[in-house]
Amino acid sequence: MIILLYGLITGILFGFLLQKARVLRYDKQIGALRLLDMTIVKFMLSTVMVAMVGLYLLVDLGLAHLAPKTTILGANLLGSLIFGLGWGLIGYCPGTAIGALAEGRWDAVWGILGMLFGAAVFAEIYPALKTTVLTWGVYGRITLPQVLGLNHWMVIIVFILGGLGLCRWFEQRGL
């Protein structure tokens, strides 16, 4: 029961912040995909930069565990491309569709229904995928520092420098 409450509280905080940054909107998401308005990219980069430092601190202190999802090259490459194509049409991702609906953008309802239908179809075709795409290039639960054989803080520092550089560039170009 308590875990459900944690989920609810985490969601409330996250949804509140998504709305405050105005990233729930179709116009913002499509704005980023058309390279006109980088608000959602700035939001995501800040989230990830803070989160990776915090997370790896906890991990180093033995207070948290990494749980990276399995890398399957075929499924990751194909699936993420397919997701992106759909995303460019709907203009919401699964989480932001829910949030967009909550701020009155009710066209998200159609998207949510499409996602539910798509999820049902995925469950139907899963047995076929399991023996094909989901077997193409399975590398297990790997992280970039493992692959590179580098200390994770080295990778984090490079990632943060890159992220800050990108944000600075967005600001200079007024994106």
Among 60, 135, 136, 139, contact with other proteins (rule: CB under 8 A): 139
Nearest to 107, CA basis, from 32, 26, 20: 26
Site residue total, other proteins (CB under 8 A) = 126
Burial of 108 (0-12, 13-18, 19+ CB in 10 A): buried
Q: How many CB atoms lie within 10 A of CB 106?
A: 9
Structure tokens at 16: 């509140």
**Site pattern 156..175 for other proteins (x: CB under 8 A):** x--x-------x--------
Nearest to 159, CA basis, from 52, 40, 38: 52
How many residues in the chain?
A: 175
Residue 14's H or E segment, with its range, is: helix 2-20
Q: Which is nearer to other proteins, 12 or 161 (CB)?
A: 12
Among 102, 161, 165, 169, contact with other proteins (rule: CB under 8 A): 102
Distance of closest approach, residue 1 Cβ to other proteins, in angstroms: 10
Among 60, 95, 135, 169, contact with other proteins (rule: CB under 8 A): 95
Ranges within 32-71 binding other proteins (CB under 8 A): 32-36, 39-40, 42-52, 54-55, 58, 63-71
Distance of closest approach, residue 120 Cβ to other proteins, in angstroms: 4
Burial of 78 (0-12, 13-18, 19+ CB in 10 A): middle
Q: How many CB atoms lie within 10 A of CB 71?
A: 15
Rule CB under 8 A: say whether 21 interacts with other proteins.
yes
Rule CB under 8 A: say whether 101 interacts with other proteins.
yes
Q: Which is nearer to other proteins, 34 or 173 (CB)?
A: 34
Distance of closest approach, residue 65 Cβ to other proteins, in angstroms: 7
* Angle at the Cα of 119 from the Cα atoms of 114 and 124, rounded to 5 degrees: 125
